[in-house]
Amino acid sequence: MTIFRIALAASAVFTLASCSSMSSMDPNQLLQSGQLATQALSLSDSDVRTISDKSCAQLDSENKVAPASSQYTQRLNKILKQLGDNINGVPVNYKVYITKDVNAWAMANGCVRVYSGLMDLMNDDEVRGVVGHEMGHVALGHTKKAMQVAYATSAARSVASSAGGVVGNLSASQLGDLSEKFVNAQFSQSQESAADDYSFDMQKKKGYNPAGLVTAFQKLASIDGGKSSMLDSHPSSPARAKHIQDRIASGK
């Protein structure tokens, strides 16, 4: 997940209005930027849920979704039965995308997608650790913020000024752009650490071995020279693995 890039784009948008050198900029551009920031922050939980529903459906239509009979789907269902079927009351909807890419993500509406490339690379404990981490981003409100920013920085924003309102009739291309921005975004360092801890706590609470989180990070660090999109994040994978190892060692 790549919420970091979106966060950078957002801070550029948000700081523009207070930039002392803005007199050299086109006023229309500035107005537009101010509106974008306002729109992003004004999206309600319900707006974000609706946009996430549409975005999730769009991504499902663009990707090869594993059928229910697929070994991937059956394995994921088995692993994730252990994590429960909701995140803070939001029902979870799991699917596998058949692709070599190593990735997994979740949206505020409970849409959780795991790529077959990640399932090929990881054992059940590791997949459960990674999905617990993605569920943490939902439970802690990170995915809501990420979707707000993806919305404000994508072509979908033009809809807000039309009669359709904030979540009006988004076209397939607008949804595609928004969805790509969401999936390619990165979370901040503190968000990643918080989601790691959320997954660790979840595994322990449900009686599963949290060591899968450690080896998951180690595997992610070893692939593609550490250049996986799941790895662009800070802190580094070795640092994240060590943090979880320390928690296992301390027993809390």
Residue among 74, 79, 72, 69 nearest 96 (CA): 72
- Closest separation between CB of residue 191 and Zn ion, Å? 7
Q: Which is nearer to Zn ion, 167 or 202 (CB)?
A: 202
Query: Burial code of 125-138, b = ≥16 C-beta within 10 A, e = fewer?
Result: bbbbbbbbbbbbbb
Give contact residues for Zn ion (rule: CB under 5 A).
Answer: 187, 192, 195
Q: Which is nearer to Zn ion, 51 or 131 (CB)?
A: 131
- Closest separation between CB of residue 233 and Zn ion, Å? 6
Q: Which residues pair with 108 in a beta bridge?
A: none
- Closest separation between CB of residue 32 and Zn ion, Å? 30
- Closest separation between CB of residue 232 and Zn ion, Å? 10
Q: Which is nearer to Zn ion, 71 or 189 (CB)?
A: 189
Distances (CA, A) of 35 to 17, 160, 190, 202: 10, 10, 27, 39
Cα of 96 vs its chain's centroid, Å: 15
Cα of 126 vs its chain's centroid, Å: 18
Q: Which is nearer to Zn ion, 97 or 187 (CB)?
A: 187
Residues annotated as catalytic are 134
Its sign, for the CA torsion 228, 77, 199, 44, is positive
Distance (Å, whole) CA 205 – CA 240: 20
